[in-house]
Amino acid sequence: MRIALGIEYDGTDFFGWQRLKQGDSVQASVEQALSKVAAHPVEISCAGRTDAGVHGRCQVVHFDTDAVRDMRGWVLGGCSNLPPSVAVLWAQPVPDSFHARFSARSRRYRYHILNRPVRAALDARRVTWERLPLDVDRMHEAAQVLLGEHDFSAFRALSCQAPHPRRTVLAVRVHREGEQVFVDIEANAFLHHMVRNIVGSLSVIGRHEAPVEWMGELLAGRDRTVAGPTAPPTGLTFIGPRYESYWGLPAEVSMAEEGA
């Protein structure tokens, strides 16, 4: 039987999603918890790996098991065996043809910036602090050049192992809510550090240290060395993937049906 789960986590205390030989990872924590519930070793596949310090609002994973448990048992049993910073949100049986990574049509990230003169205390684990005023309108305008399919080499980490740098950005929005600035971006897939590198360059434009047109120049130039800095991981949250509605997954990870 194949089961899909929604996973929420605070990535601050982990060395990233992927299981490592040394150091805590979200994947290892979830696998250990599910293995206790299943009473056999469980390996999971995820929709998108996240780096050290990056959070997950609704990561989707799948695993195969012969253990007979109701879906509530996977949720409650998983949560009871996980650290406080990780939770199973839901569990659902899926066809064997479903794959958390390969069935996903897109992925969504949100970058959260606290834009005020004083650093964060309560939200320090979940935001990046920028003390200088950010011009959100300039940032949003600059970000629109990213829409569509492009070579994103200018925003690709040197350590990226993707076979090619072309990705398709489906939506991008920069907006402000009081002292909070949010960068929301959805794409078919992402390169290593792609969102954080984009945010780093948008912040330069938001501080009026570069013109709005600079974003397009960076994209066309494909040179990571002249783009903005890599934004810290603390402000980045993987909101989750999107799947075709026929998989029957919760609305938060499903594409809207046409005409709905």
> Which residues are tagged catalytic?
51
Q: What is the per-residue DSSP string for the chain?
A: -EEEEEEEE-GGGSS-SS--SSS--HHHHHHHHHHHHHTS----EES----TT-EEEEEEEEEE------HHHHHHHHHHTS-TTEEEEEEEEE-TT--TTTT--EEEEEEEEEESSS--STTTTT-EEE-S---HHHHHHHHGGG-EEEE-GGG--TT---S--EEEEEEEEEEEETTEEEEEEEES---TTHHHHHHHHHHHHHTTSS-TTHHHHHHHHT-GGGSPPPPPGGGEEEEEEEB-GGG---GGGBPPPTT-
Q: Specify the pairing of strand 166-177 against strand 86-94.
A: unpaired
Dist CA 102 CA 123 (whole Å):
34
